[in-house]
Amino acid sequence: MTFSVDTIDPVAFFGVTPTFAIQGELVIVDATNSSDNLQLVSYRLDFGDGNIEDLKGDPVINHIYTVPGTYKIVITVTDEAGRTATYSKDIFVDKKPKKSSGPMSFLTNPFLMILVLLAVFATVGARIYQYRRKQDLLRAVAAYEAYQAQLARARKAKLKKAPVKKAAPRRSKTS
């Protein structure tokens, strides 16, 4: 029987989504890209806020940071031979924005923002419609005035023609 000794260290790695989080937001740590020539048997995640998780199966975990700050997430992976590797990455957690109550507070409420945009579009649309109606009315008045001027010219031209001869009186037929 031959035994082989594992001389290759595992490779620890993980991704964080999002890397710039907001206080209370769900953060996903995915260590599936950690690897080894043997099977990885454990993943130890230190979130940098006092919480440590030991994972045996699926190397994807969710975490919520409750306090703003910069945290160093550290993962330590262990393979079947007991060899370990460590990797770390910083995550930035910003404080939760305060709810606004000022004149621009509708920007934080999608429903209010949609209502404001609809009101703006309706107002602009009504103004465009009014403008177009006014332009149509002005064109109609100009066309009517041009027609009236043409009729007046035609009447003047008719009057300037030679006078119309009166027809001779009809003779009555008497036999």
pTM (predicted TM-score): 0.54
Structural domain 15-94, CATH architecture:
Sandwich (2.60)
Structure tokens at 174: 């008497």
Q: Kindly compute the dihedral angle of the four CA atoms of residues 156, 157, 163, 168, in this order, to the nearest 10 degrees.
A: -100
112-147 residue pLDDT tens? 777 778 888 888 878 887 888 888 888 888 888 888
Domain range summary for the chain, segments of one domain joined by +: 15-94, 105-154
- 38 — pLDDT class (breaks 50, 70, 90): confident
Beta bridge partners of 61: 29
The average confidence (pLDDT) of the chain is: 83
